Structures are given as structure tokens and as C-alpha cells.
Amino acid sequence: MANALGIVSPSVHCFRRRNRAPLGLDGSEKKTALICLAAADGGVEGRVLDSTSSRSCRPRVVGMGSKLVGCGSAVPKLLISNDDLAQIVETSDEWISVRTGIRNRRVLSENETLGGLAVAAAKGALQMAHVEAEEVDLVIMCTSTPDDLFGCGAQVQRDLGCKNAWAFDITAACSGFVVGLITATRFIKGGGFQNILVVGGDVLSRYVDWTDRGTCILFGDAAGAVLVQACGSDEDGLLGFDLHSDGHGQRQLNAPAKDDHSNFISNNNGTSLFPPKKASYSCIQMNGKEVFRFAVRCVPQSIEAALEEAGLTSSSIDWLLLHQANQRIIDAVATRLEIPSDKVISNLANYGNTSAASIPLALDEAVRTGKVQAGNTIATAGFGAGLTWGSVIMRWK
């Protein structure tokens, strides 16, 4: 990967999918699987893993494709406009909207939580997909701001009533949903899972310095979800992907832990021993210019790599759906990929940067308003803290 103006290390490598499934002796695609205690031939759909020892009675068939069959989203009730922020910091609606494209954002209030938003978004995805909670095999919660230090995936699984599902959290900041989506398809292909909920959600308002106009104008809270379902290889909706990370750019966008300097018991030479320092997280710190340069250079390259793996060109894309960070970034990436503005999905003006929620939130709105139709090819990319970035070429339904 080329160095993004000194931010991204030139030694970064991407993780690339090689074969969609093992090939048979005749060169045709062949689905494979495992069976508990003994091998058996499962016919054209591969072999199955006996699930008598698992939570679900459904057999597991590996080597399957994946398709998106439902989406949902949820946002807090409280709307904060640019004019509202102008009452707190020295700024204006014009100043914010010209530089970012943002006019409003939603922020947690009263008893709202990330978990509550995630559950509401996931319910929308299940309803659209006509899938019951008991049929879900896995819940992947993509967030950097869980309600609990140890994550909230299991709590989302509990509150949804997904009693047969496993759940875990993924932390990859604004790339989280893309990472979660790719992870879901790997569990379907390699683990025989049938229905996987991928939820992207963040409540960055908890970590914003509301006196810093450079960052407080950018972020909002939200959650979005998709239901990824196993399908035959001929219906596979994951056409290509590309992933990267580079910790050299961490200094450009971060919210590091900070220590609470309390009284400590010391030994004779004054060295602190106990108790350990109590930690919390600082507010979000960002070098906006460097993050912009990183995004407009690396995101188009990542999308082009994913398109190459899919055997497609940018002219084959029906929709470009980027992480909703800044309208100038979205416009610059579209220009570099030669994708016209009428093929670009953006709802940034209404919600701001919602981190891992931004892609599924925008997708849900585009689907429910009839913009995205069955069979449409979507190029999507997430990018942000870490630094992490990645792209997926996918087909809706």
C-alpha cells in the first residue's frame, strides 16, 4: 500500500480472499463440511455437521454463499442542530455545513443506551428478512462504545430473544461494520451458520469534548443492522473485499486511556505499588487534515482492490456507500472512482458521523425509500481510527 502522506505505513498488507470454495476434481466448485464423529456425503449441498450436541437442531452446511436479506436502524430522540451547537462553541450552521456537510445529529438522552438502539435496529432487520429471533445463529456487535467495558453483544442477543445464538463484539471504530460483515460471511462459509445479525452501533457523544468545535460538530449516535443469510453459491452477495490496518496512524485519531492520579501506597524508595491507577478514556482527539488525506487516498485504492477481486469495474457499481464521515471525503472518493453523484448514498447531513452505525443506517434508509433495489451492486467502505480501513462489494438480496 502506498504511503498516505506519511500516515500509512508502506509495509501494510491486505487480507484477500482466494477461493470461494474448494474445487472438485473436475474443477467445479464443491461445498465441503464436517460431520460429528463420522464423515458422510451430503450430496450437492455438501456434507453436514450433526448438530445433536449443539443448541440448534438445524444441520450445518459449510461452503455456502451469503446474502443480505434484511436491514434496520435506530437513532436517539434528541436532535442537535448546528444552531444548537453555536450556542455552546464559536461556530455557525454555515461554517459546519460547508466544511462537513452536516446539519443535524442525534444524541443519547434520558434512559437511552447503545444496547437499546442496537436491539431496535436488529428487530427491524429481522422483520424485513422474515426471520424469527430463535432462528439467528450469531449476533456480531460492532462498536467502540459499548454500554459495558466487556462489550454488549451478549446483552443484545439476550434482549432480542436469540436464544440459539452465540454473540460477540468487534472493535474496529468506523470500519467496524465492514469488518463485521466480512466476518459474518466467513462464519457462514466456514462454520455452517445460517442466519447472522451484524449490528453496527456507536454513541460517541459520550467521548466528545463539547467545547472543542473541531470534533463536537462531527459526531452523532445511532445503530444499524443487517441480517446475513446462507445461500447457494449462485446467489452469493459478497463479491469481493479488501481489509487494512496500520497502527502508525493511531496518533491522528484516538481516545486514549488516562489515569486517575489518586493516593497510592509506596515502598521505601517512593515507587507506587498499590492500588493500580483507575483509568478512564479521554475525549476524541483528531487531526482532521491528516485523516482527510488518508481517507481520500486509501479508500479508493481499497475499493478498486475489492472490485478487482470481484471481477468488476467502477462502472458496474449501482451505488457507492461510504462511511459517513465528511461530505468532502465522500465526494472526493466518488470523483477518484469516477462514480457520478446520483449513484452516491449520503445521509450525513441528518446524522453526522455515527461511526460503525453509519453504513447500515444509510443502507436502511436507502432500502426503505426504494433507492436501493434487489440485485443492486453496492461498493461500501469503512475507514477510521486504528487506523483501519476496508471495502466490500456486495449485492443487495
Among residues 174, 244, 298, 326, the one annotated as catalytic is 174
Among residues 82, 326, 350, 353, the one annotated as catalytic is 353
**Distance from C-alpha of 232 to C-alpha of 186, rounded to nearest angstrom:** 14
Give the CA angle between residues 70, 335, 97 to the nearest 5°.
Answer: 75
Task: Give residue for cell 436517539.
Answer: 76
Among residues 164, 323, 326, 350, the one annotated as catalytic is 323
Q: Which residues contact 158 (CB under 8 A, 6 or more apart)?
A: none
**Distance from C-alpha of 293 to C-alpha of 209, rounded to nearest angstrom:** 23
Distances (CA, A) of 156 to 8, 120, 165, 188: 35, 10, 11, 21
388: left (phi over 0), alpha (psi -120 to 50) or beta: beta
- Nearest residue to 392 (alpha-carbon basis) of 24, 16, 27: 16
**Distance from C-alpha of 179 to C-alpha of 389, rounded to nearest angstrom:** 9
350 in catalytic set: no
Distances (CA, A) of 370 to 120, 133, 367, 395, 397: 21, 26, 5, 15, 13
CB atoms within 10 A of CB 336: 16
323 in catalytic set: yes
- Nearest residue to 191 (alpha-carbon basis) of 295, 46, 81: 46
Task: Give residue for cell 454513541.
Answer: 203
36 in catalytic set: no
**Distance from C-alpha of 364 to C-alpha of 381, rounded to nearest angstrom:** 16
Q: Which helix (H) or strand (E) holds 280?
A: strand 278-281
Which amino acids are annotated catalytic?
Answer: 174, 323, 353
